[in-house]
Structure 1
Amino acid sequence: MHNKELLNCLRNGQRVYGTLIVSTSPRWPTEVKKLNLDFVFIDTEHMSIDRDMLSWMCRTYSALGLAPIVRIPSPDPYEASKAMDAGAAGIVAPYIETPEQVKALRGAVKLRPIKGKKLSNMLNGTDLPEEPLKSYLEEFNAGNILIVNIESGPALEALDEILQIPQLDGVLIGPHDLSCSLNVPEQYDHPVFKEAVSTIIRKAIAAHVAAGIHYFWGVEQEIAWGQEGLNLFVHASDMTAFTAQMSRDINEMKQRLGDRLNENADNRIHI
């Protein structure tokens, strides 16, 4: 999907599917295209991708009809601006906990290129744009997508206020950080964690905001959440898919040939 089509799906509650892309190989985009995904999730919070490489990746995936959604290193409007300048269809801001953070990010994604005092006044409603600037900003930013990570107890407490910020398109659950913040680390079947996920989905749906999760394990659980209304799926990554499949294949060969298995292998990746 291109960014405008993806944005329309998010706003209409339609399910969209993507995966985290780690590989920067120039061959990789054409292989990813074969998966029939709706978007790709490029992470610059935990991955060392520089601005030049990020721009090549964004523009390549865009040219292939895969909207590139970039998670920025921090919930900083200037980081959001850099990602959008690089060709991102939208951004995911990590570890959001206040509506003020979302409001500032809205300015960077939905009202670019306005900055400074004028942007602050526009966000506060004291300087609403008039024509021709109003039409210019709408056209310039058409299709830009704003998503924020909900991955802590304080974010859950502020969720009602966060969801009221205009032009917020989606909330993306960070399961690892959320489980740790709730004192049930990596216990994704724990009632506390499952209730938190259900609460986020329910409140997002009520606010007409897309609800998503970035998940490495448990397709059955993802399907169950989808049945609750989750509509933004970031499943696994190219790296985890590779290690999981290779582990299965190598262990099968070793087992059938009578060789020793690596029973202590830990293929978990925390992002």
Structure 2
Amino acid sequence: MPLTLPTMPRDGLRIGTFVKTASPQVVEILGLSRLDFAVIDAEHAPFDRTTLDLMMMASCAVGLPLAVRIPEVRSATVLSTLDIGAAGLLVPHVDTPAIARDVVAMTRHRGGVRGFSGSPRFARYGTLSMTQSLDAGAGAFVMCQIESAEAVANAAAIAAVDGVDGLFIGYADLALSMGLESPQAPAVTEAAEKVIAIGRAAGKTVGMFVANAAERDRFAARGVEWIVLGSDQSLLRQAADALVPTS
């Protein structure tokens, strides 16, 4: 049976969750749920290249698309993440259109700076021709995190970069960049609304992390389509708490 890499869904409301536990079994289990995708949080959780590779194997086994929130914007990091078969990238701290252009170039063989080998998973381990491999590597889903006041000011220019698929609002870091300590502060909400409007006007996917179903519904009603709700850790903790009577 040929290797099939899951691709990131692009149309309509899509719900995923962060994966912060370095276990491919977590991906297998989530693949049996109704989630549309998951995001491996390699920025804030301890994932090395070997573990990420195992997570991608599980992704292929259950057909659950995995994006990776990369820890840094470096060519080598982007290259290795896409070579192992990630369906997309969630890129932190994209504050300027120049950074966005650099990121897109790192994802592309044609017209970019991504190094080529036909042997990794994305190229079906050497079973594709070079042209087929280049085609397979051309569809990486790129979400740029807007998580600073500077990024909000540049959001329209970032959205206009060819190859950027969407804007992802990181409202915790956004609050900190504004000198605030609550993502629910009115100024943060106002900035998020601005980014949502910019993304929608540009025809780009707007994404956001939310903590619960009420936030999911509130932001979905405003046009946020790519929603990351909680994480494997929070889902496990909440399910465990629900087993214990409160009275």
Q: Does 1:103 align with 2:98?
A: no
Query: Structure 1: which 5+ runs fail to align?
Result: 117-132, 257-271
SS of 1:79's equivalent in the other structure is helix
In 1: Cα distance, 2:178 partner to 2:6 partner: 34
In 2: Cα distance, 1:29 partner to 1:237 partner: 12
Could you report, residue by residue, the CA deviation over 1:96-152 in whole angstroms, capped at 9, with x for unpaired residues? 101111111111213369538xxxxxxxxxxxxxxxx9x768613243111111111
In 2: Cα distance, 1:108 partner to 1:63 partner: 27
Q: Does 1:58 align with 2:56?
A: yes
Aligned residue for 2:188?
193
Aligned residue for 1:239?
233
User: CA contact under 8 A between 1:112 and 1:137: conserved in structure 2?
Assistant: no
CA shift, 1:57, in A, is 0.3
Q: Percent identity?
A: 24
Aligned residue for 1:86?
84
Aligned residue for 2:46?
48
Could you report, residue by residue, the CA deviation over 1:3-31 in whole angstroms, capped at 9, with x for unpaired residues? 44x3xx43x4x111110112233432332
Larger Rg: 1
Change beyond 3 A, Cα 1:25–1:219: same
Out of 201, 220, 226, the position equivalent to 1:226 is 220
Aligned residue for 1:264?
none
Could you report, residue by residue, the CA deviation over 1:24-76 in whole angstroms, capped at 9, with x for unpaired residues? 33432332122211111001111111101101101321331111100111122
Change beyond 3 A, Cα 1:206–1:113: closer
1:17-28 maps to which residues of 2 (within 5 A)? Answer: 17-28=15-26
In 2: Cα distance, 1:244 partner to 1:178 partner: 26
Q: Does 1:205 align with 2:192?
A: no
One-letter identity of the residue aligned with 1:236? G
Quote the RMSD (CA, aligned, Å): 2.3
User: CA contact under 8 A between 1:109 and 1:145: conserved in structure 2?
Assistant: no
Out of 68, 71, 85, the position equivalent to 1:73 is 71
Out of 180, 184, 192, the position equivalent to 1:184 is 180
SS of 2:100's equivalent in the other structure is helix
One-letter identity of the residue aligned with 2:235? A
SS of 2:142's equivalent in the other structure is strand
SS of 1:234's equivalent in the other structure is strand
TM-score in terms of structure 1 length: 0.77
In 1: Cα distance, 2:145 partner to 2:30 partner: 24
User: CA contact under 8 A between 1:70 and 1:92: conserved in structure 2?
Assistant: yes
User: CA contact under 8 A between 1:19 and 1:235: conserved in structure 2?
Assistant: yes
In 2: Cα distance, 1:173 partner to 1:63 partner: 30
Aligned residue for 1:214?
209
Change beyond 3 A, Cα 1:27–1:137: closer
CA shift, 1:214, in A, is 1.5
One-letter identity of the residue aligned with 2:149? G
TM-score in terms of structure 2 length: 0.84
SS of 2:157's equivalent in the other structure is helix
User: CA contact under 8 A between 2:97 and 2:161: conserved in structure 1?
Assistant: yes
Aligned residue for 1:119?
none
SS of 1:96's equivalent in the other structure is coil
Out of 25, 34, 37, the position equivalent to 1:36 is 34
Could you report, residue by residue, the CA deviation over 1:216-263 in whole angstroms, capped at 9, with x for unpaired residues? x2422221111111000111001011222323434x2xx53xxxxxxx
- Aligned residue pairs, count: 229
Change beyond 3 A, Cα 1:246–1:113: farther
